[in-house]
Amino acid sequence: MAFKWKSVFDVSAIKSDFEVAGLNPNFIPQIWKHVLKNPDCRWDDIPSLPSAAYHLLDSKFKPSTSTVHAAIDSSDLVTTKLLIKLQNGEFVEAVVMRYDTRLGKYDGKPRLGGPRSTLCVSSQVGCKMGCNFCATGSMGFKSNLTSGEILEQLVHASRISAIRNVVFMGMGEPLNNYSAVVDAIRAMTAFPFQLSPKKITLSTVGIIHGINKLQKDMPNLNLAVSLHAPVQEIRCQIMPAARAFPLERLMNALREYQTTSQQKILIEYIMLDAVNDEEQHAHQLGKLLETLQSVVNLIPFNPIGSLSCYSTSDGQKVIKFQKILRGTYNIRTTIRKQMGQDISGACGQLVIKKPDILTDIEDLQEIEQNKIVLL
């Protein structure tokens, strides 16, 4: 279904319409800057545009095609979940996490840095990958977001907090919506957003051709991989889409990506009782990751209503798993902290993965900048 209005942040739409109208695309960042500062602006409030640009904006574009339907703060006010309504009536989630690096301690010393916010964005409504521990997976696939709808999540969030990091870990598999995601990331790293590519993390279940393409298109991006199992058989059991992406080929793609990016890869591993959390699995994972520079994040599974076909691993088992990876294989391994749980009961993948992952990502990005040392 085609909608009358396009988002002014829809990168390909506004660029092609400017080109067709013979307008200089250099005006686009200027328009974005004005909209960022003036959410309810009228196009003729923007100074110094050619008259054809006002006509084009008036007839085809809106400053925002989505609206914040609800903003829910956690009780500690650290986390805010935005429920965003799209033009097609569907909803996606975005999560803002305010984070003060001075509050934590690493290696007995205060952490460097200061207050900052991380935004977790969605790239699709629903998801076709069908991971059977994931709430979004149970929705099936509904639609891809445009680059404008992805950027609008950043625009909405920027109005409640200064966003320094963006993670693509919300609803959807970002590499299944490749061009819109890459367009959005390119815009995020340019004026007026100007985020560092090293402050943007894309999380994938392991779409090999997408990782290979990303390596060429966006080599500076942080990559996170939802591995969740050390062998293909278990991966296929909990993530049916993994059948198309054999583990050996995935690891080759990750090593190649790392050769270009020179950055550690975040390995996400959800701990499912008696499925992937035994000592032998820790050793298998350790061996699998021996030739990759990685940070492993162990995620205690959080059962959710009728989706709970799995159980939470015993806490001691998780610690034992971590000890094996650290002690035997010298792999940096963290256990996800639980944060913002009081607001994560609504819908979508964020229920399982977010917002607690945001601190893990902060840690990864700090490691990349050699600012801190994880214990």
Q: Judged by CB under 6 A, which stretch of 55-63, 171-179, 246-254, 327-335 contacts ligand SF4?
A: 171-179
Min dist. Cβ of residue 238 to ligand SF4 (A): 9
Specify whether 347 is catalytic.
yes
238 binds ligand SF4 (CB under 6 A): no
Query: Binding residue for ligand SF4 (CB under 6 A) from 10, 17, 152, 173?
Result: 173
The one catalytic residue in 236, 347, 362, 366 is 347
Phi-psi sector, 49: left (phi>0), alpha (psi -120 to 50), beta: beta
17 DSSP assignment:
H
Of residues 19 through 48, those in contact with ligand SF4 by CB under 6 A are none
182 binds ligand SF4 (CB under 6 A): no
Min dist. Cβ of residue 291 to ligand SF4 (A): 25
- Cα dihedral angle (155, 156, 162, 167), rounded to 10 degrees? -80
- Strands 124-126, 141-144: pairing is antiparallel
Query: Binding residue for ligand SF4 (CB under 6 A) from 80, 87, 136, 294?
Result: 136
Of residues 93 through 122, those in contact with ligand SF4 by CB under 6 A are none
Specify whether 236 is catalytic.
no
| Distance in angstroms (rounded) separating the CA atoms of residues 1 and 4 | 10
365 binds ligand SF4 (CB under 6 A): no
E strands within the chain? 6-7, 61-62, 67-73, 79-85, 91-100, 105-106, 109-110, 115-120, 124-126, 141-144, 163-168, 200-204, 222-226, 265-271, 294-300, 332-335
Min dist. Cβ of residue 349 to ligand SF4 (A): 4
| Distance in angstroms (rounded) separating the CA atoms of residues 238 and 325 | 22
User: Contact positions toward ligand SF4, by CB under 6 A?
Assistant: 127, 129-131, 134, 136-137, 171-173, 205, 226, 349
Catalytic residues: 93, 347
